Structure 1
Amino acid sequence: MLMMFDCKISEISYVIYHNVFKTEIQGIDKVKMMLDMYENGDDYRTHDSIQTHNNNFSLQGMDKEGGEMLGEIFESEDDYRTQTDYNTNRQPPFLSAGRYVRMRSYRSVSVCLVLLCVLLLTAVIVLCVLINTNNHQCHNNSNNLTEERDQLLTKYTNITEEREQLLTKYTKLTEERDKILAKYNDITKQNEQLNQKKNELWAHLSEGWIYYKSSLYFISSESKSWSDSRSNCRERGADLIIINNRDEQDFISKKSGTDNFWIGLSDIEVEGRWKWVDGSRLSTSFWKATQPQGVEDENCVVNHLSVWSDYFCHVAFKFICEAKRLN
């Protein structure tokens, strides 16, 4: 019986020793696995307590003597582990696991904080560079916009001045155009008048009128008294001839020949005050040597062989009509 108990103790010691040795070999790997399984050292310690409680519960069936032997075995195992850790400079995997986990957690947090600070510093530097670049670009854009604005203002001022100059020129051209239109209208009217006079001239010429120095003359073929002769001339749009110079006198003398012709001179209103039919006073005369005689009732003038004679107005003679001068 004692031998069987000794065998069981040996088997249990062998199993415990094998597990301890295996744990020592895989110490670091288990710690790493535990880091993944547990978030902090408290959970690890809680797990360790539960495991120790389970081991104690499994040994409750043993007798007191077997328990003392197991205690000695565990003490020897602790000494062995402590000695092994001292020789190999390792951390005890079970006794200081919580502390190791905390150290690793602090180290990871520190590394993360450092990396975060580096990232933040990098982001701040990049933002500062971007802001500085954007400010420089904005300043350049502002300068460019200011220059463009000044150029546009200058162009606007120039265009405004040019517009005012064009308006002034337009006003002057409008005035000149109005003047030209007025002249054109005057010329048109004159042209119409000339055409009218030309038509009248052709009409008079076709009726036997004679054109001489801008005047038309009609030499009658029938004889009438001085008053009837003047009435006939007025019906033709003319009046008895008014002789103002020697050329006209010679022209009439040549056309009349040796016949007597009434002219538009008389003193019917006042005896001795000779006046033309247009109301003008006599200035140039071509009287016969013995004329005028001053005989009463000889108040009308007749032309004969380039000289004038006063005669009775009721006597019938041929007459010469003169139309208005054509300018």
Structure 2
Amino acid sequence: MYNTERSEITHAIYDDAMTWTEERGERVEMIVDIYDCVDPANHQDLPSHTEKHHTLQHTGSVSVENRKHTAPVVCLCLLCFLLLTAVIVLYVCFTTERKQLLTHISNLTEEREQILTKYEQILNHNNNLTEEREQILTKYEQILNHNNNLTEEREQIKNKFEELQCGLYELDQRADNLKWIYYNFSFYYNSSKKKTWSDSRLYCQQKQADLVKINSREEQEFLRKVVGSDTFWIGLENSGEWKWTDGVKLANGYWSSGHPNSYGDCAKMSSTGWESHLCTNKEKWICERTICTYNKINPS
């Protein structure tokens, strides 16, 4: 009975050991040790079980070894797969970025060409403007030179006209040299007839002269000697105030005693000084004509 119970226990332990061996090969030796402790005398029955044990142990070892070798391979494959995936992703990203970069470079190249074209157009336009400016400056210089030439010709014509006029004056003076008296760059004409102040002035104007204008005491003394005991109209009248025929106001006068007065508005000269009389009175007159100074100004 004892043997029977021991045999059942042994078989139960052995079955459990087989189960553990199938699940994990490393526990086989532990099961065998337990079995020896339970029935140390029943070693004669162990050969078959030992063979089975060795077979199971060998199978478990092979399975463990296979698992040990399979895990690195799986990890390596997984790592290769990840690396391959990363390479593919990087390649796709690089290709996309490269295409974008090439497109951007192409756009920049086109913009550069457009900018260069516009720059050349602006440069050509600037050159054209520079040429036009030079042409305008050249024309302006030509016009300026022509204007200077015209001014010179005008001055020459004016000088020739003045020279001709001076010649006519000189001829007139030579033809009537007994009546024109020279003093201090002026010629004076003493009339022998009598006219009103207005008619006397008109006669002087017809001779390219005017009634005398006395500017200094020296000129006054010279004319006083010429006048002698006669009286002559001078170019001085009163139109609200005393003025010379050229419109200049009288500054210094050489009036006789009691003159000027309200009796007349035109002045005549006597040996004693100036006198105011009615302009309608008839008196002799003195014309003054400035000498031609052309040869003095342009000695050529």
TM range (shorter): 0.3 to 0.5
Give TM-score scaled by structure 1 length.
0.41
Give TM-score scaled by structure 2 length.
0.44
- Which of the pair has more CA radius of gyration? 1
